[in-house]
Amino acid sequence: MSPEPLPTTLDVRKAAARGSVISGAVSLSALPRLRDALASGEGSIQAQCAFGRDEENRSIVTVTVSAELMVSCQRCLEPMPLTLASENLLAIVGDDEMAKQLPAALDPWVVEGEQGDLWGLVEDELILGIPVVAYHDTETCKELLDAYRQPPATLETDGDNPFKVLEQLKSGSKQQEN
């Protein structure tokens, strides 16, 4: 795909009538909702929007997104790279009412007015594509966890050892009973 930036907005119905295919890069720093779901601002996003009409003469767009992002591993909480690739066919509609009339298999892209927000569309696709939980492969994750645990002796001599606190609480309550 092109290293040039994807246009941020586009006259989507004109693009559908022409069968335009638009591709380019999207800046992660411009997508705050996506950034909130990530471990860091590092990464790259490429997208392609192929416009056209279906057999019912609806304006449609096929959105293809590929991205390299950083998310938090839910086991060791360290950042990990995530590669996302998705393709989705959407029908371009003017409002929510038209969206409801679409067949169930066709997702709506609501564009009020002429200009569709292409970057917002790509952001939505990526937010939907991020897995709810992501893990390192077992070996990488284990190495990171092991690195945290060293040296193991520190925990046992810790003055705030929760087990000791528990013992003190127990003996304290016994004394009160007596």
Question: Taking contact as CB under 5 A, which single stretch among the options 43-51, 63-71, 74-82, 157-165 is the one that binds Zn ion?
Answer: 74-82
Which of 116, 6, 129, 98 shows the shortest CA–CA distance to 61? 116
Q: How far is the CB of 22 from Zn ion (least distance, A)?
A: 37
| Binding window for Zn ion (CB under 5 A); candidates: 39-47, 98-106, 109-117, 128-136 | 128-136
Q: Is the dihedral of CA 167, 171, 172, 174 positive or negative?
A: positive
Minimum CB separation of residue 140 from Zn ion in Å reads 6
Stated as kind and residue range, the H or E segment containing 16 is: helix 12-18
Q: Rounded to the nearest whole angstrom, what is the least distance from the CB of residue 132 to Zn ion in the complex?
A: 16
Report in angstroms how near the CB of residue 143 gets to Zn ion at its nearest. Answer: 9
- Residue 119: phi, psi to the nearest 5? -65, -35
Whose Cβ is closer to Zn ion: residue 137's or residue 160's? 137
Write the DSSP string, 83-140: EEEEEEEEEEESSHHHHHTS-TTSEEEE--SSEEEHHHHHHHHHHHHS-SS----HHH
Task: Compute how many other C-beta atoms are within 10 angstroms of the C-beta atom of residue 117.
Answer: 15
**Smallest gap from residue 136 Cβ to Zn ion (A):** 3
Residue 70 binds Zn ion, judged by CB under 5 A: no
- Helices (runs of H) and strands (runs of E) counted in the chain: 7, 7
Break the chain down into helix, strand, coil percent, rounded to 5. 35, 30, 35
Contact string 139-178 vs Zn ion (x = CB under 5 A): --x-------------------------------------
17-25, 38-46, 67-75, 93-101 -> range binding Zn ion (CB under 5 A): 67-75
73 scored as a contact of Zn ion (CB under 5 A): yes
Please report how close the Cβ of residue 76 comes to Zn ion at its closest, in angstroms.
Answer: 3
Segment contacting Zn ion by CB under 5 A, of 43-51, 99-107, 132-140, 153-161: 132-140
Applying CB under 5 A, the residues found at the interface with Zn ion are 73, 75-76, 136, 141
